[in-house]
Amino acid sequence: MDKNENIFIIETCENCRQHNWNTRHDENKYKNYALEMSAKIQEFIPNAQVQINEIPKNWVDYEIYCQLVPNSDPANPFFKILPRIGAFEVSFKGVLIFSKMLSGMWPHFDAVAGRCQKLFEDFQSGQDIQKFQTNGQEAKRVDMKKTKRFESPSKSPDMTMSSSIKPQNQSPKASLVIQETKAPAEEKPVIKDPKPAPQEQKPPAKEEKKEAPKHDAPADVLCSNKLKTPEDLTGFPTFPAGTKSSLSRHLSRDIWNKYHNEKDSYGFSFKQAIFSGCQNVDSGIGVYAGSEDSYVKFADFFDLIVEDYHKHKKVDKHVSDMTTTKLIAPPFPKADAKMIKSTRIRVGRNLQGFPLGPGITNEQRKQIETNVVKALETFEGDLAGKYYPLNNLSEADRKKLIEDHFLFKEGDRFLEAVGLNRDWPNGRGIFHNNEKTFLVWVNEEDQLRIISMQNGADLKTVFDRLCRACAHIEKVAKFSHNEHLGYITSCPTNLGTALRASVHIHLPVLGKQKDAFQAIADKYYVQIRGAHGEHTETDDHIYDISNKRRLGRSEAQLVQDMYDGVKAMIDKEKELSRAVGPKEMEVGTHLKKAKEIIAYPRFPAGTKSLLMKNLTPEIFEKYRDKVDKHGFSFLQAIFSGCQNTDSGVGVYAGSHDSYYAFSEFMDKIVESYHGVKQHVKEIKMDSSALNAPPFPEEDASMIVSTRIRVGRNLADYPLGPGITNEQRKMIEKRVSESLATFEGDLAGTYYPLNNLSEADRKKLIDDHFLFKEGDRFLEAVGLNRDWPNGRGIFHNNDKSFLVWVNEEDQLRIISMQNGADIKEVFDRLCRACAHIEKVIKFAFDEKFGYITSCPTNLGTALRASVHIKLPKLGVNKEKFQEIADQFYVQIRGAHGEHTETDDHIYDISNRRRLGRSTVDLVQDMYNGVKAMIEAEKAL
């Protein structure tokens, strides 16, 4: 024996789609399983060679290899195998290691590969490998777990098992001839001896009284795919060991004796109702109704099926609610919604006055199609679309429906057995709306399958569309319904609502925690499938989550089941993600997006921002997955300070609601900066309340210019970091319309930045009016998005009044002029703000005052300042700062914050914003400037 031989053989079924209807199956499954089995063998035995449906020529004498294709090519060392229907076998040098045909199951790849490995080790060491010959009892072996990966295709009655093949010690050519001409073996005649042996002779028995002949009951019928028609059920159906269908559990002899010759009012027989489960013993249910009357005529049987599956007793009543009014399904937060790839809700419906699909005639099916199409053609708006009859479908339409995954095919062997494929494709068709979010299948399993679907997580919109469509159809074609079973369907599992609401959702962490995943599913009455259908696995961790219940609860309640289950799964996914993820992460300029903050931020040494000082691990965990009501996330709010660790504050709000959605954190930031927790109740924008008499001429000459500005945002919109491009344009439109109504000293011109002439641009730059895109701090929070759309500048004719539109805040309103007349500048600002607010309501809050994106501006959002020349006081830093502290003002260089000055011209402005009125803050600035002038003169 050549110990270097390392070839394993896989024989697997081919051309499966061309088999007879009762042995037809998906060839891709056989092919894929063969490839997977091959890969697993080579994983266990790295130097193994695996041949699929071919053997080495020198193995022809092994008796298990039959049906070979002649091959006289000396360069080709292999014979092709003509595989048998349903075959899936693994062998090595004539030893059959695994046979699906003998075991009745699919291989457990690791177990079979493990047996191959042990066999190969014994082969290499010269031991007998015949002990690895299978007898089809893998289920009893410790190392061969029964793993049914999908429903097994039916076996052909004439299949030949490899273990029963006669020895084939002929050439391939002779083998093929024998296959074509093989006749049954002759039976040897049995010759009886007319004289029995002496020990067999018995004395003549007394003549017994003959009894009347008995009429034997028909023999029981063993259920299998050998049954061809319901009439083959000539006796009580019995099922092979391992059958688990509802039919096998509930079909008693008493029920059989009561109904086996009965039919419902449409002529659908009891034998037809149970035939699919008798022919296909791997059915889950195995029972179908031919009409609504089937559930009445065969009630003693169907009641058992319904109660077993739905826990719905025969005295129970069904409820229906095809409206969204009671559905509590608020939109998922933006981060959560991203996990959900698509949403789909469908119902099955059948028409009153007709049998169901299994019991319908060809003419009745066509009439149903006519009635339904009449209703579909009257759809309007988002439901309007086109109907495509399958028996008159152009090749272009067929191709398009296939591309859209809308085309349905003939039913599987279970539906074939109950007659649902009769007269295919007559009376069948597909309707879809123009947006391809609404679909109706006509005369598939049920007479109508009505489907609403779309990408994303908007469950309520999908359900609303379905409800409107069903209500519209039923105006023309009334559905079959009763108070006990709800909407009537051919399969008892769909009774009640006949509704399936599902999402495809990405759960990479929870998907690995099978027990936790299933516990949530059980709690919320939902089921988990692979995204490619029932019993499928998923490598990408996208799962199909759908309601499990159908009967006894309304449509709205079942959609609620699904919503609640999905929400719980999302929450668990996030919890597990945090548990397996890092506890902390370094932050800095390497961050590009807010979603990159996946753990508690760790700031570099020397960071002094309010974000760093107030963000605790507990606050981060509380808000890390939260968004405000406009969808602006906590991570977005802190991103600028995480990316730019030299920030002073590092936090921005995306809307008014940000201050409340993240309140525990935002309150700390506000109090840290402003020293107070909330604003004053009364806001006074009234220059008459300001005590600011004109400075004496000598004093006034020190003041170069005066400028007072406020920031404002509109009440009906998010703030700049959370606004959309369209919202920004709408704000610009409303504000510019208001500015156009100014009169007198406030009248002027608005310049939109996205439509600015070169001459206007140069003039605005010369006047120092033109604002540019925000710095890196504002860039990080999204304030530069869509630049320069929706931005603009207004100034009056005297150039003493200016409005910036959609800069950091939505309005920056500025009053200014050369000289020291603070009261006049403030009066102009007060009049302008009052005028704008007659048309546009500003975002205002009793706790925080005027709402702004940066927490430092909350309250008044006011900065009142002068540029003043103080050459002596400017040298005396301590005295200078002492006055500033006394009057709550701050000192800057005239060219901006943190700038130095050689000419001793300083920018003096109010320091406080929140907790004081606008008048108080202008008064702070006036009083501080006055004190500084006095000190300058004293020096």
Cβ-Cβ contacts under 8 Å for 504 (sequence gap 6 or more): 340, 341, 342, 531, 542, 543, 544
pLDDT tens-digit series, residues 632-645: 999 999 999 999 99
Which CATH fold would you assign to the domain 221-310? Transferase Creatine Kinase; Chain A, domain 1 (1.10.135)
pLDDT tens-digit series, residues 684-708: 788 999 999 999 999 999 999 999 9
Flag whether 324 is marked binding.
Answer: no
Could you confirm whether 449 is annotated as catalytic? yes
pLDDT at res. 19? 61
- Of 449, 549, 728, 916, which one is the catalytic site residue? 449
Q: What is the mean pLDDT of residues 386-406?
A: 90
120-159 burial by CB neighbour count: b if 16+ within 10 A, else e?
Answer: beebeeeeebeebebebebeeeeebebeebebbbbbbeee
The CATH number assigned to the domain with range 584-674 reads: 1.10.135.10
Flag whether 864 is marked binding.
Answer: yes
pLDDT at res. 145? 35
The pLDDT of residue 147 is above 50: no
Q: CB of 634 within 8 A of CB of 676? A: no
* Beta-carbon-side half-sphere exposure of residue 754 (alpha carbons within 13 Å): 11
Residue pointed to by tokens 């997977």: 36
State what percent of residues in the chain have pLDDT above 70: 87
Flag whether 484 is marked binding.
Answer: no
Domain spans of the chain, in order of start: 7-178, 221-310, 334-564, 584-674, 687-938
Q: What is the mean pLDDT of residues 499-515?
A: 94
pLDDT at res. 489? 98
Could you confirm whether 491 is annotated as catalytic? yes
- Of 243, 493, 724, 856, which one is the catalytic site residue? 493
CA angle 781, 782, 785 (to 5 degrees): 165
C-alpha distances (whole Å) from 322 to each of 383, 463, 465 are: 17, 9, 11
Q: State the Cα–Cα distance between residues 633 and 639, nearest whole angstrom.
A: 10
pLDDT at res. 140? 36
Collapsed DSSP state (helix, strand, coil) of residue 8: strand
Could you confirm whether 346 is annotated as catalytic? yes
Mean pLDDT is lowest, of 38-52, 158-172, 301-315, 663-677, for 158-172
- Of 149, 249, 529, 911, which one is the catalytic site residue? 529
Mean pLDDT is lowest, of 90-104, 211-225, 235-249, 718-732, for 211-225
The pLDDT of residue 159 is above 90: no
Flag whether 895 is marked binding.
Answer: yes
The pLDDT of residue 200 is above 50: no
Cβ-Cβ contacts under 8 Å for 135 (sequence gap 6 or more): 102, 163
pLDDT at res. 62? 84
Shared fold status for 334-564 and 584-674: no
Which CATH fold would you assign to the domain 687-938? Creatine Kinase; Chain A, domain 2 (3.30.590)
Flag whether 504 is marked binding.
Answer: yes
Q: Strand ranges (DSSP E) for 725-880?
A: 748-752, 792-796, 801-805, 811-818, 844-845, 849-850, 862-869
Q: What is the mean pLDDT of residues 654-661?
A: 96
C-alpha distances (whole Å) from 754 to each of 745, 807, 878 are: 27, 13, 48
Mean pLDDT is lowest, of 198-202, 249-253, 360-364, for 198-202
Flag whether 758 is marked binding.
Answer: no
Q: What tokens appear for 658 in the block?
A: 């940000």
- Of 231, 363, 534, 846, which one is the catalytic site residue? 534
Q: What is the mean pLDDT of residues 800-816?
A: 95
pLDDT at res. 24? 57
How many Å separate Cα 568 from the centre of its chain? Answer: 14
- Of 115, 500, 550, 828, which one is the catalytic site residue? 500
pLDDT tens-digit series, residues 83-95: 888 889 999 999 9
Q: CB of 25 within 8 A of CB of 15? A: no
Could you confirm whether 115 is annotated as catalytic? no
Which CATH fold would you assign to the domain 334-564? Creatine Kinase; Chain A, domain 2 (3.30.590)
Bridge partner list, 499: 347
How many Å separate Cα 192 from the centre of its chain? Answer: 77
Q: What is the mean pLDDT of residues 879-888?
A: 94
Q: State the Cα–Cα distance between residues 803 and 812, nearest whole angstrom.
A: 6
pLDDT at res. 164? 36
Could you confirm whether 211 is annotated as catalytic? no
Q: State the Cα–Cα distance between residues 867 and 818, nearest whole angstrom.
A: 9
Collapsed DSSP state (helix, strand, coil) of residue 89: strand
- The 10 Å Cβ neighbour count of residue 733 is 11
Confidence of residue 15 (pLDDT cuts 50, 70, 90): confident
Q: What tokens appear for 414 in the block?
A: 């279970």
Q: State the Cα–Cα distance between residues 848 and 921, nearest whole angstrom.
A: 16
Q: Which of 51-60, 673-682, 920-929 has the highest mean pLDDT?
A: 920-929
The pLDDT of residue 298 is above 50: yes
